[in-house]
Amino acid sequence: MKKSNKRLNIGFFTCHLDNDYAYEVCKGVDYAAKELDVNLIVFPGMYMNASYNDPKNARFDYQYNSIFYYASKHTLDALIVSIGSIGSFLSENDMIAFLKNFNIPILTIEIEVPGYPYLYTEGRTGMRQAIEHLITEHHKTKIGFVSGRRENADAKERLDTYCQVLMDHNIPVEEDRIVYGNFSEFTEDIVNNLLDANPDLEAIVFANDSMAIGGYNAIKARGLEIGKDILVTGYDDAPAALVLDPPLTTVHNHIIDMGYHAVYEVLNLLDHGSTSTSILSSSLIVRSSCGCGNYKLNKAKELTSVFAANDLQKAKNYVLNYLFDDYKDNFYYEELIERFSEPLELILKPVADGSMAFDAAAISGSLLALIATDFVDLYFSNDKLTHAIRELNQLLCSLVDDNNRCKIMRLFNQLYSDMLAKSSSTLYNTIHDHKKAVWSSMYITRDTLTYSDDEESCFRLIMDKLQDAHFISSYMYIYEDPVMLMSDGSWKIPKNLYLQACNNNGKTVYLSGDDRLISSDKLFFNQYTSYDRRRTLVITPLFTNNIQYGLFVGEIGIEHFQNIYPNSLQLATSLNFISLMKQQLLTQSKLASSASELSEKNKLLNKLSITDGLTGINNRRGFLDSVQHLVNSSYNEGKPAMLLFADMDNLKQVNDRFGHKNGDYAIKSIAQILQQSFDTDDVIGRIGGDEFVAFCFLDDPHTPDHLCSKIKALSEHLNETNGKPYYVDISLGVSTFICNPTLNIEDVLHQADESLYEHKKNKRKDVLKPV
């Protein structure tokens, strides 16, 4: 097993990092990678058919998926694949075919793929708990369901669970109580349709929290009170669930835990050849939107007896369980309990001893120190912590008399005020940092424009700007050979790349000549990288439209992942501009150094190399080069076109009976007929002795028939007027096609040739005209 300085290299395939779900999974993967001291390489691709949802704006998003093919046994020890995200539109067979490209141990998450170990969170348990809660605790039977897309596996599982729970409770499943969204928050219209069709609806179950956001808007617009007039549940425990009003009852599906456990399981796979865990369980989190209100307060009196026993530790444990029991299965639960224990003890001790002498400054300081940690910001979230503080306030107020209740409320009002001030300061710093990162990203393009004539200065400044965007180290690779999209959707990656510039530990290196050449197998770790620490690396392609220029590999903390895409787009723009400038400077240099006579001779030689000497039209090379360029050009992609294959019937008879001079006359006559038939912008060539080919774009589907008719008419006119004793007859074959960057014109030429031989079956047997 190959390791980087004795550290394992674990790869993680995921979809676009701007996706909230993908980012949550990444956080769990990154946390475990740090805990286990393994290198993590994140491959943020796209959906395997990226243009499915947004064909206009996602037209070139397929380019992101090229990075997957840099994962191999030479670069990684094992691979975690978020197949449920990047492959959500693939069939099972397509998923298997995709995974077979990678000859390394693989663990899939979200979906079980036959033949591969997997890890996913089963959603049925939590969804069942949510629906049964509405039925058994709130006695609701008229329950609507807002599903995701019909073809989505997660949506289907949650809908099936809804139907099964209703049937288990002898509640009929009614089709008009089910509507379909797309897992986005834009659900107001479909929720309105649901409520219009079911004015007596008592509750709505949403298949995810995002769709509940639009549902809240639709419900409130009707003047209905959520949690009272109509009950609502969601699924995912997304950050939005807590900031909705009222807070959303939802299903905790352990997204971040799945990423965390995936790293441990893939290491089990490496060490033992198998995994120990394949399924995590979802669970219900009850809040106010389902009608429970502050349902936990019903248990509050239990704490009174705990305080009466004068056991502070037991009281603290009781409250911790009360506040955080919903997260007891999370990987970060123990750290959460440990971090929250100090401020909690400072709060509970004066309540337990009855003194109510709160040290507000100490409590606030301890709480603010907790808020300032990456742990809360990245893993538990400020919203969840604020919710817990609010519940603690309500719990303690329910245990004491009015006088002491006022003291508790004064304390928590102070805490809320301090937390708000801290949050405001944090938000300001975050916005300021984001602005700085955005400007640093924009300066990449600016510096390219400014220093385009000094490539080394240009790349050094780019590396500096990437440091400002929180990249700990940066590596900018340029392709020696172009990366190619294959017909089966896979990518052929180049064997070598050029490392143009890198920055490691604050030191920028600009490379030139052969020093830049790096094998693709050493993309992540080579002589220009150091092994002094564990790393989280992200790889992203550098492209504009359908042209890829290279790769960017950046080491960056997960809290700054939002900087990856803006900077990679700016880097691609810079490489595009540098490429254009190189071409322009090269052209200018050639023009400046070339004498007029040499230029003319070059033109003549070029013309001779692509021109047929007898007819003056393109020869085989000239024709194929011109047409191949036209059909592969991105500008012409999707345009219909045709090839017309023509050759002379009975040329041998003309040569044998009347001499080669007449044979040459016949060949030149055919070239003239084709030139008269096609427009000047079309391409015509003689590719063999009596073989001709013509190419044109098709503005009209009837063009091939018109051209064939015109050629036939001109040929008949020639034979009637040229006074020759023999016929100049032409056989024709036509093939139509659609231009695209991967089309091989030789294949189309072969099809036209086969069509021509069908035409030749009807050729004239004798070349002589009747006397």
The values of phi and psi at residue 114, to 5°, are: -55, 135
- Give the pair of three-digit tokens for residue 714: 């001109």
pLDDT at 448: 72
Least confident of 312-326, 450-464, 472-486: 450-464
Q: How confident is the model at residue 30 (pLDDT cuts 50, 70, 90)?
A: very high
Kindly write down the DSSP assignment for every residue of 586-606, as one continuous string.
Answer: HHHHHHHH--HHHHHHHHHHH
Give the mean model confidence (pLDDT) for residues 459-472: 88
- The DSSP annotation for 317-363 comes to HHHHHHHHGGGTTSTTHHHHHHHHHHHHHHHHHHHHSS-----HHHH
pLDDT in tens, 539-573: 999 998 888 999 999 999 998 888 888 888 888 88
**Averaged pLDDT score across all residues of the chain:** 88
**pLDDT tens-digit readout, 185-236:** 999 999 999 999 999 999 999 999 999 999 999 999 999 999 999 999 999 8
Please state, in angstroms and rounded to a whole number, the distance separating the CA atoms of residues 263 and 32.
6
Q: Is 109 helix (H, G, I), strand (E, B) or coil?
A: strand
Number of residues in the chain: 771
Q: Does 294 have pLDDT greater than 70?
A: no
52 has pLDDT over 60: no
**What average pLDDT does the segment 442-457 reach?**
75
Buried b (16+ CB within 10 A) or exposed e, 48-69: bbbeeeeeeebebbbbbbbbbb
Among 89, 18, 13, 79, residue whose Cα is nearest residue 51:
89
Predicted TM-score (pTM) of this structure: 0.70
Q: How many of the other CB atoms lie within 10 Å of CB of 362?
A: 12
Phi then psi for residue 423, to 5 deg, are -65, -40
What CATH superfamily classification does 9-120+259-265 receive? Response regulator (3.40.50.2300)
pLDDT of residue 346: 94
Cα 239 to its chain centre, rounded Å, is 22
Residue 177 has pLDDT above 60, yes or no: yes
CB 693 within 8 A of CB 612: no
Fold of 455-588: Beta-Lactamase (3.30.450)
pLDDT at 574: 84
Flag the least confident range among 303-312, 411-420, 673-682, 742-751.
303-312
Nearest in space to 412 (alpha carbons), one of 427, 424, 400: 400
Six-digit token string for 729 = 């007859």
CA distance 160 to 127: 10
Cα(504)–Cα(518) distance, integer angstroms: 16
More confident residue, 605 or 737: 737
CB 258 within 8 A of CB 109: yes
CATH number of 124-252: 3.40.50.2300
DSSP 8-state class, residue 741 = T
Q: Which CATH class is domain 604-760?
A: alpha beta
Q: Enter the tokens of residue 588.
A: 């200018």
Alpha helix positions (H), 699-741: 703-721
Query: How much is the average pLDDT of 272-283?
Result: 91
Tokens of 380: 């538990």
Which positions ≥6 away from 171 have C-beta within 8 Å? Answer: 135, 141, 143
Let me know: does 59 contact 293? Beta carbons within 8 Å: no
Q: Tell me which of 145-154, 440-449, 462-471, 681-690 is least confident.
A: 440-449
Who has greater pLDDT, 106 or 571? 106
Burial 415-428 (b: 16+ CB within 10 A, else e): beebbeebeeeeee
pLDDT surpasses 80 at 85: yes
- Higher pLDDT pick, 128 / 747: 128
| Alpha-carbon distance values, 474 to 30, 247, 464, 514 (Å) | 19, 42, 10, 20
- CATH 3.40.50.2300 in the chain, residue ranges: 9-120+259-265, 124-252
Give the pLDDT mean for 474-478: 94
Q: Is the pLDDT of residue 50 over 60?
A: no
- pLDDT, residue 608, reads 66
- Max distance between CA atoms of the chain, in angstroms, equals 132
pLDDT at 302: 75
Question: Which of 288-292, 297-301, 667-671, 760-764 has the lowest average pLDDT?
Answer: 297-301
* Ranges in the chain annotated CATH 3.30.70.270: 604-760
pLDDT at site 296: 55
145 neighbors 178 (Cβ within 8 angstroms): yes
Burial of residue 504 (number of CB atoms within 10 Å: 0-12, 13-18, 19+): middle
Mean pLDDT value across residues 491-514: 90
Mean pLDDT of 408-437: 83
Q: Reply yes or no on whether the pLDDT at 88 is more than 90.
A: no
> Six-digit token pair at 177?
């109580």
One-character DSSP codes across 248-313: PBEEE--HHHHHHHHHHHHHHHHHHSS-S--EEE-EEE--TTTT-SSGGGGGTHHHHHHHHTT-HH
Nearest-5° Cα angle at 499, 495 to 504: 130
The rounded Cα 26 to chain-centroid distance in angstroms is 14
Higher pLDDT, 586 or 29: 29
Instruction: Report the pLDDT value the prediction gives residue 605, as an integer from 0 to 100.
Output: 67
| Residue ranges of the chain assigned to CATH 3.30.450 | 455-588
Lowest mean pLDDT across 292-306, 329-343, 390-404, 477-491: 292-306
pLDDT in tens, 576-631: 887 777 777 777 777 766 655 555 666 666 676 788 989 989 998 899 999 999 99
Alpha carbon distance 616, 610 (integer Å): 10
Residue 262 scores a pLDDT above 70: yes
Could you give the CA distance from residue 703 to residue 701 in angstroms, rounded to a whole number?
Answer: 6
- Predicted local distance difference test score (pLDDT) of residue 2: 45
pLDDT of residue 307: 79
pLDDT at 58: 67
**What is the per-residue pLDDT for 401?**
87
Element containing residue 233 per DSSP (H, E): strand 231-233
Per-residue CA distances from 318 to 172, 301, 315, 383, 399 (Å): 41, 12, 5, 22, 14
Residue 293's pLDDT is 64
